[in-house]
């Protein structure tokens, strides 16, 4: 099916309009991924799930620093450059970006292998060498899939990219089901569950490369010229400082404090609350962009915004109208839903999840602001905002975790994320107003 989509109208590079197809594929991928997480949690129990989730987080938390397609700004910049070139040059850009990526990935894998033993010693019973090694297998294909994602975005094949993500989620769920039914030992199940995302990522990477081979003349690829190479290298550079600041706030660096001084079961409860709130935060902008906005514009064609400032205000208001009721319902109904989906053993998830859902609403509302800031490359403002939010998260996490455990971790993270979200909206609003001034 994916190869047929890649062959159909490959020379037109048509843009698939947002609507039912992209909503259904994106929603289905999220739902399948969520079901796989629930199955893993039920099969392993709180303590073993905590070790599993913590190892997976340690293996992939720093991945955006090395992956060319893992940064939104880098991905957008390279995709824009690639989309302006002819197919032969675009194929050459694909190879060039892939070579640059392999160098970063090799360094990432080297540093990860060097840090495995210190991490296993530092976190003690909450992780192990075997867990970290198996979790690390998913990083290389995950990083490489970012490069294929850049090329598919440059070709405007968002439908194909969504279908590949759906395929990966379906394969992951299938492997989790097979592992849960065939293995009786909980530790062996955890090992196989850690391998499932790696196998699914490798399959996604293979399918994406085959589809790109159908869309671009890879065998007749033409190497980019010196000026284009310089432009690509400049676009591929990631700010390490911005990444670290962003990771502390949005990648939940407070897990390091929890992993050092708390039990594996507490890690499992908090990791599960993070996964659920992140899915909600991701779902709300996707639902708005792929379904609500296109339908609204079709019903009311005159609702189109005349400028960027008007579009930003309308998008932010619409996201608020959508995020607040969705997260409020999640906060109210999460106890019975957790008990029904996972059982009474996972009810300690409720309190940190409620706190993080509040932050998820703020993050979803601010997604339009973050998009504008990335597009405008306001690095200085983003650095100051990231430094303030990261400092706040660190300053609050240590005492709050010592006092109230995972509830304190959720409070520290939620406050830092709300500050980051509010700050991005303030910076974006001021930028819009200054653009209007003569």
Q: Which residue has the higher pLDDT, 372 or 254?
A: 254
Lowest mean per-residue pLDDT among 177-181, 260-264, 286-290: 286-290
What percent of the chain lies above the pLDDT cut of 70? 84
Find which of 23-27, 247-251, 261-265, 346-350 is predicted with most confidence, using mean pLDDT. Answer: 346-350
415 contacts 392 by C-beta, under 8 angstroms: yes
Tens digits of residue pLDDT in 165-191: 899 999 999 999 888 887 666 677 788
Q: What is the DSSP letter of 16?
A: P
> CB under 8 Å to 373, separation ≥6 — which residues?
381, 382, 424, 427, 428, 431
The pTM of this model reads: 0.86
DSSP letters for 287-317? HIIIIIHHHHHHH-GGG--SSHHHHHHHHHH
pLDDT attached to residue 206: 92
Q: What is the per-residue burial (b if ≥16 Cβ within 10 Å, else e) of 155-177?
A: bbbbbbbbbbbbbbbbbbbebbe
Tens digit of each residue's pLDDT (9 = 90 or more) over 17-49: 445 666 677 778 888 988 899 999 998 889 999
Query: Given this model, what pLDDT does residue 72 score?
Result: 64
pLDDT higher than threshold 70 for residue 90? yes
101 close to 145: Cβ distance less than 8 angstroms: no
Q: Are 205 and 60 in contact (CB under 8 A)?
A: no
**Count of CB atoms within 10 A of residue 384's CB?**
13
pLDDT digits (tens, 9 = 90+) for 401-434: 999 999 999 999 999 999 999 998 888 887 776 6
Is 11 a residue whose pLDDT tops 70? no
CB-count exposure of residue 437 (10 Å: 0-12, 13-18, 19+): exposed
Residue with the bigger pLDDT between 313 and 374: it is 313
Per-residue pLDDT band at 436 (split at 50, 70, 90)? low
pLDDT of residue 383 exceeding 50: yes
**Least confident stretch, 8-22, 255-269, 272-286, 361-375:** 8-22
Q: Band of the pLDDT at 368, cuts 50, 70, 90?
A: confident
Residue scoring higher pLDDT (257 or 311):
257
Query: Is pLDDT of 306 > 70?
Result: no
> Over 80: is that where the pLDDT of 138 sits?
yes
Average pLDDT over the chain, rounded to an integer: 82
Maximum Cα interatomic distance, the chain, rounded to a whole number of Å = 71
More confident residue, 209 or 307: 209
* Position with higher pLDDT, 342 vs 9: 342
Half-sphere exposure at residue 118, Cβ-oriented, CA atoms within 13 angstroms: 5
Contact criterion met (CB below 8 Å) for 9 and 160: no
Q: What is the model's pLDDT at position 331?
A: 93
Which has more confidence, 143 or 136?
A: 136
Q: C-alpha distances in angstroms, 290 versus 19, 159, 165, 193, 381? A: 5, 11, 16, 31, 30
Range from 29-33, 50-54, 186-190, 331-335 carrying the lowest mean pLDDT: 186-190
Per mean pLDDT, which range of 100-109, 326-335, 404-413 is the poorest? 100-109
Mean pLDDT of 315-319: 87
Judged against a pLDDT cut of 60, whether residue 2 lies above it is answered with no
219-222, Cβ contacts within 8 angstroms, sequence gap of 24 or more: 220/88, 220/91, 221/88, 221/91, 221/92, 221/94, 221/95, 222/88, 222/89, 222/91, 222/92
């Amino acid at each position: 099916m994916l190869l047929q989509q890649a062959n159909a109208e490959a020379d037109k590079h048509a843009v698939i309009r947002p609507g039912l197809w992209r909503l259904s594929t994106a929603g289905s991928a999220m739902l399948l991924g969520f079901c796989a997480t629930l199955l893993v949690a039920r099969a392993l129990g709180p303590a073993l799930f905590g070790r599993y989730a913590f190892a997976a987080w340690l293996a992939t938390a720093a991945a955006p620093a090395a992956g060319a397609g893992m940064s939104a700004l880098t991905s957008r910049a390279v995709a824009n450059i690639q989309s302006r070139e002819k197919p032969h040059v675009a194929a050459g850009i694909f190879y060039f970006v892939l070579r640059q990526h392999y160098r970063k990935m090799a360094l990432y894998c080297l540093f990860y292998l060097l840090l495995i033993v210190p991490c296993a010693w530092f976190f003690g019973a909450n992780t192990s060498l075997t867990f970290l090694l198996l979790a690390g297998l998913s990083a290389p294909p995950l990083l490489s899939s970012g490069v294929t994602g850049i090329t598919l975005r440059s070709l405007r094949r968002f439908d194909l990219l969504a279908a590949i993500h759906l395929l990966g989620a379906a394969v992951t769920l299938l492997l989790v089901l097979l592992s849960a039914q065939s293995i009786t030992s909980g530790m062996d199940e955890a090992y196989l569950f850690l391998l499932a995302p790696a196998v699914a990522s490798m399959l996604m990477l293979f399918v994406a490369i085959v589809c790109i081979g159908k869309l671009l003349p890879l065998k007749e690829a033409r190497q980019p010229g010196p000026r284009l190479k310089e432009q690509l290298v400049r676009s591929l550079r990631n700010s390490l400082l911005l990444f670290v600041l962003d990771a502390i706030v949005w990648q939940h660096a407070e897990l390091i404090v929890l992993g050092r001084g708390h039990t594996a079961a507490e890690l499992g409860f908090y990791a599960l609350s993070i996964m659920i709130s992140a899915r909600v935060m991701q779902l709300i902008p996707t639902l708005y962009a792929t379904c609500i906005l296109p339908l609204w514009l079709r019903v009311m064609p005159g609702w189109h915004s005349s400028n960027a400032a008007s579009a930003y205000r309308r998008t932010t208001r619409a996201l608020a109208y959508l995020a607040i009721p969705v997260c409020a319902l999640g906060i109210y109904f999460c106890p019975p839903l957790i008990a029904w989906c996972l059982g009474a053993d996972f009810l300690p998830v409720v309190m940190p999840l409620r706190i993080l859902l509040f932050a998820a609403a703020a993050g979803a509302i601010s997604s339009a602001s973050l998009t504008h800031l990335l597009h405008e490359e306001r690095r200085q403002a983003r650095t100051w905002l990231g430094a303030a939010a990261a400092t706040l998260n660190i300053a609050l996490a240590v005492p709050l975790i010592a006092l109230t455990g995972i509830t304190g971790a959720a409070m520290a993270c939620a406050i830092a994320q709300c500050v980051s979200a509010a700050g991005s909206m303030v910076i974006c609003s001021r930028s819009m107003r200054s653009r209007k001034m003569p």
